Amino acid sequence: MTGAAATTAASSRLLFSRQRQRQRPFLSPFHILPNYRTTQYCKHAEAGARSVQCMAVDAATAASAKSATKSSYELLTLTTWLLKQEQAGVIDAELTIVLSSISMACKQIASLVQRAGISNLTGVQGAVNVQGEDQKKLDVVSNEVFSNCLKSSGRTGIIASEEEDVPVAVEESYSGNYIVVFDPLDGSSNIDAAVSTGSIFGIYSPNDECLADIDIDDGSTLDSGTQKCVVSVCQPGSNLLAAGYCMYSSSVIFVLTVGKGVYAFTLDPMYGEFVLTTEKVQIPKAGKIYSFNEGNYQLWDDKLKQYMDSLKDPGPSGKPYSARYIGSLVGDFHRTLLYGGIYGYPRDKKSKNGKLRLLYECAPMSFIVEQAGGKGSDGHHRILDIQPQEIHQRVPLFIGSVEEVEKLEKFLA
């Protein structure tokens, strides 16, 4: 065979091989991965066809397929959830960034709490906060962590902390619009015993007229005149845009509401992300658990004593209420949110207005419980309707299942 003939034969075999390869059925990812979720499916035309036909699947079939093929590895993180809320128009991009910065602060504080004994962060700092309470070392560190995360977000104009004497105006080059109030580490008296603690926060929309008058040339705190302005900006809890808390316990749980129900996220240590674990949390309408510091019983007024005695009466059912009290608002509230019942911190002879702060604790928690179908009250009025008169105002708090709070209000009326 001549050289030219050999070349021609080889070319024919190569062409024939390519044609056979083109006739082989094309294997798409839909064939290789049978569990691939899609709202369409593709099928091939007759053998040898080069096109792929796609047909739409009806909604019912798609939903059925989705539920049947849901992966055990499918996770919805807090970041993804916030982006979905933004896409749905529930929150804006600015608020998404603020909430993301808060979640980052909570992760840092969670790590500090877990390592407190190792890092020598237990015990008192040696200072007293504006409430007249001894500051724990972690109080100071947690406040700094929370403040730094909010300032660096570039979306907060004013931040107010339970640990600070006055609100702080964020430096102009970093400032945004939102006002954030927070208790960086609630229940810090329990830290040395490794009992549940938590962080609480609330986010308000600004009042532009007040913001225009703020003088931040000195770079930090507001003067007494602008304090009054901040109080008017920190409106009643009914005007909260978002509120939440993070509980540092056997697991780290981030509970959040943006006014459309309550959602709970759990920190996955494997990924370092908060993962959605409970949607649309609903508190039971009634419960058989009460959470009060009964050590102050003799300091309460008679009406409250009568209420407390009624809870201990077995009655026709033969079973009285159960008492559960941790001494950490976040821990006690979280249990009440899940199991129902009532949490209370009333006024007494020592504390005429109770000990919990309206802006940092009572209003955010009441906003959360109402979003979950519960109720927050000072014994006579709805917490969210109370107009704050000062930054660190204290109010009595009774919060929990609707029926239990209303029962208490009848005794106090």
Q: Which helix (H) or strand (E) holds 156?
A: strand 156-161
211: pLDDT strictly greater than 70: no
Q: Within 10 Å of residue 326's Cβ, how many Cβ atoms?
A: 19
Question: Structure tokens of 25?
Answer: 């059925």
Report the mean per-residue pLDDT for the chain. 80
- pLDDT for the residue numbered 160: 87
- Cβ(187)–Cβ(331) under 8 Å? yes
Convert the pLDDT of each residue in 129-160 to its tens digit. 555 565 668 888 999 999 999 988 888 888 88
Mean pLDDT, rounded, for 61-88:
76
Give the amino acid at 344.
Answer: G
Cα atoms in the 13 Å half-sphere on the side-chain side of 403: 9
pLDDT band at 331 (very low <50, low <70, confident <90, very high): very high
3-state secondary structure of 163: coil
Convert the pLDDT of each residue in 26-36 to its tens digit. 444 444 444 44
By percentage, how much of the chain surpasses pLDDT 70?
A: 70
Min mean pLDDT across 99-108, 233-242, 339-348 is at 233-242
- pLDDT for the residue numbered 25: 47
By percentage, how much of the chain surpasses pLDDT 90?
A: 54
- Cβ(69)–Cβ(35) under 8 Å? yes
Per-domain boundaries in the chain:
78-280, 289-412
Architecture of the 78-280 domain: 2-Layer Sandwich (3.30)
- Residue-level length of the chain: 413
Mean pLDDT, rounded, for 375-391:
93
- pLDDT for the residue numbered 180: 92
Convert the pLDDT of each residue in 260-287 to its tens digit. 999 999 999 998 999 999 999 999 999 9
- pLDDT for the residue numbered 62: 52
Convert the pLDDT of each residue in 99-110 to its tens digit. 999 999 999 999
How far is the C-alpha of 400 from the C-alpha of 152, rounded, in Å? 35
How far is the C-alpha of 381 from the C-alpha of 285, rounded, in Å? 19
Most confident of 34-38, 64-68, 311-315, 406-410: 406-410
Mean pLDDT, rounded, for 327-338:
96
Mean pLDDT, rounded, for 311-318:
88
- pLDDT for the residue numbered 390: 84
How far is the C-alpha of 195 from the C-alpha of 331, rounded, in Å? 9
41: pLDDT strictly greater than 70: no
Give the amino acid at 122.
Answer: T
Fold (CATH) for 289-412: D-Maltodextrin-Binding Protein; domain 2 (3.40.190)
How far is the C-alpha of 237 from the C-alpha of 204, rounded, in Å? 9
